Amino acid sequence: MVIKILGSGCKNCVTLKENTELALKETGVEAEIIKVTDFKDIMAYGVMSTPALVIDEKVVSFGKVLKPKEIAKILENLK
């Protein structure tokens, strides 16, 4: 599984990455986390507001910082 955090590297983007790491630990799911900061790449996903969370090339959230439990729920649904 590949998880991408889309954003400029702002505080919200950092928090989303940390929350994603906590959710992965909580669920036992193994994934590679990639930070995407290039706006051209972010726009390619059709995302207009960051931070955004992309799992296996599917945008699952944008414009808000998900809590670890919310991310864990998304991960469980993708299994």
Q: Which residues are catalytic?
A: 10, 13
- Cis ω for the linkage preceding 68 (within 30 of 0): no
